[in-house]
Chains A and B, each alone.
Chain A
Amino acid sequence: MSSRDKILAAVKQNQPALQALPDVTPLVDTFPSSAEKFAETLAAIGGKAYEIQNITEIPVILGERDASTRVINLVDGLTIANAETQVGDIDPHTLENVDLAIIKAHFAVAENGAVWVTSDLLQQRALPFITQHLAVVINYDDVVGTMHQAYNRIADLDYDWAAFIAGPSKTADIEQSLVIGAHGARSMSVFILKQV
């Protein structure tokens, strides 16, 4: 008998009587789904949110960059000088010198400061990790309160790879001193686009 069959047989033999799954719905609406709350939570975990009226404000806020720094811009309708917009077909290792990546996220979560991204938005899964700095654009109305609302929204969607990203990468492994910029991005800015 293979290990698979042995393990599955032993599991079947030893598992206890079935208990019903609980209802998750009472937990769903227990946190305000506001962009302001999201911005507050994001700030507390080391990120920064900017409420903007027009996408053209983004390059102004990001500021001037040396022409030699590598910037990847994957946001439709956003113009960034000297930025690359197509990285889908390259070897991801060649992204090692990216200084700034600007990406779109589907929505944000107010209770924990996370944004939800899927691989189809990124062209390269490695991009939001390997870049030195990460900027994310979301729509003002795309903020949910809790993770339960988030998963209700994701429920039946298909993706190859996806992630919640909440702030810059960090570590507190050395004597519990918080250091921002572990292996992933050193900063995370989220632009909340309020259509007028």
Chain B
Amino acid sequence: MNLATKDHAELAEQFNKDENRVDWHDETLWWIRQKRDKAAHNIPDWEMLRETASQIKNNVLGNIHQYLLDFEAQAQENGITIHWAADAAEHNQIILGLLQDMGINRMVKSKSMLTEECHLNDFLAAHGIETIDSDLGERIVQLAKEPPSHIVLPCIHKKKEEIGELFHEHLGTPAGNSDPQFLAETARQHLRETFLTRRAALTGVNFAIAETGEFVVCTNEGNADMGAHLADIHIASMGFEKIIPERKHLGVFLRLLTRSATGQPITTYSSHFKKPRKGQQMHIVIVDNGRTAQLGREDFRNSLKCIRCAACMNTCPVYRRSGGHSYHTAIAGPIGSILAPNLDMEKYSDLPFASTLCGSCSNVCPVKIDIHQQLYKWRQVIVQKGYAPAAKKMAMQGMTFMLSNPSVYRAGGKMGRLALKYVPFAVNNGMNPWYKHRDMPNPPKQSFGEWYEKNRGGKK
């Protein structure tokens, strides 16, 4: 699927062609948002919990240099090998090197959005190494040759019938069977064989503890553990912002993570990896890939507090109705729209505009990132740097001219009202983006200026 050349609005338009699907997508995600609310309301001190998490993360940002040094030293003492990668290419190269050193050409991988960001699977495939994604949702989109559309629910955009077809084609299930129980059982059998035969396992990292050098991986399926505990080599990829100060701070984050994500009290498995198993190698690749630059941007560094729960996506009225693929980046939705411009401002200049700025994302964020404020600030940076689309620039210049010239403004308003009244086809057509999916309003008889002149004119 080529997502590279289209912007958010164009990709959303493709998604919006099937209205029933949009409604279904919208309702499904809203249902998850409601589950989040219920879980949050069951915790009497929820807001205190959010504030505490936010303050811990603020502390991390201000002391991250020391925490990284502590983490590295502790992890090495525990027998873990630490690697540092300045960018995606170096991250991929390190992993390739580790696998080649052991003569391994097949790897099993649990969820890691960082490896999506780095396009690791494609890179390894080009070097003759097969990667199988073991999270069910990720396996489904991998079979469909698509990227995940959601960081927690990778195939939330797919109907079960489509998944049934994929399984029929790739895993030999009977045609037409789309029963979730049956399909999940098929995937269990298929992936069990994978877990038992792969000598290398890659996982992500949810939290890395500076104090102890251990890292925590959370899954519901048990796929990270099935891979890691059976493999000769366990590689964990982490962005450096995953660090937290002390083990006891996990109490705060593990209470927040899944309640915010899916409304569960905790993931089924919260696995604490401190030392490799006897005879096993354990490696951590700590990745920058633009994160130090983001840390230096005062207005945007708070985005590095993110714990990847996806609550901001589930609540976002734009995400719910445009689908994750419309964001054409590894991390979709509101948080992705403030992370991506840091990586490539030109390529992702459309994303901060893919928002109504309603602020719902900031209200549900468990670590209190000011997401909608950052979206607004990115818009200003993007326009100042000249990355706004030409049409938007022209329209904004036109607005500036009109709004700073009262006579032009009045004439323009009158013309607009007349056009809506007498030649509606001039605006009610495909050329006018405001006409898409909605009717134009009935024109008022007069402007507020005219009404004021008539009713209040002369009275001081």
Contact = CB atoms under 8 A, between A and B. Distances in A.
Contacts of A164: 254, 266, 269-270
Contacts of B266: 109, 112-114, 147, 164, 166
Nearest to A88: B278
A68 interface: no
A22 interface: yes
B8 interface: no
Interface in A139-196: 146-148, 150-152, 154-155, 159-177, 179, 181-185
B220 A2 contact: no
B49 interface: yes
B410 interface: no
B52 interface: yes
B223 interface: yes
Contact of B248 (A112, A155, A159, A182): A155
B274 A11 contact: no
Interface stretch (A49-57, A58-66, A73-81, A123-131): A123-131
Interface stretch (B135-143, B321-329, B396-404, B438-446): B135-143
Given A8-B69, A27-B48, A173 B185 contact: no
Interface stretch (B53-61, B114-122, B411-419, B425-433): B53-61
A155 B250 CA distance: 11
Nearest to A21: B59
B45 A169 contact: no
Contact of B221 (A2, A159, A169): A169
Interface residues of B, number: 88
A82 interface: no
Contacts of B250: 147, 151
A124 B278 CA distance: 10
Given A183-B191, A183-B192, A6 B225 contact: no
Interface in B341-369: none
A19 B56 CA distance: 9
B154 interface: yes
A171 B288 contact: no
Contact of A18 (B62, B275, B286, B296): B62
A44 B252 CA distance: 22
B163 A174 contact: yes
Interface centre among A41, A129, A183 (most CB of B within 10 A): A183
A30 interface: yes
Interface centre among A3, A92, A185 (most CB of B within 10 A): A3
A11 B270 contact: no
A96 interface: yes
Given A148-B248, A164-B266, A11 B137 contact: no
Nearest to A185: B222
A163 B225 contact: yes
Contacts of A166: 265-270
Interface of A: 2-4, 6-8, 10-22, 24, 26-27, 30, 41, 44-45, 92-93, 96, 109, 111-114, 124-126, 129-130, 146-148, 150-152, 154-155, 159-177, 179, 181-185
Given A165-B268, A181-B188, 10 more contacts: A3-B85, A4-B84, A11-B292, A17-B62, A18-B63, A151-B248, A173-B155, A175-B160, A184-B221, A185-B222
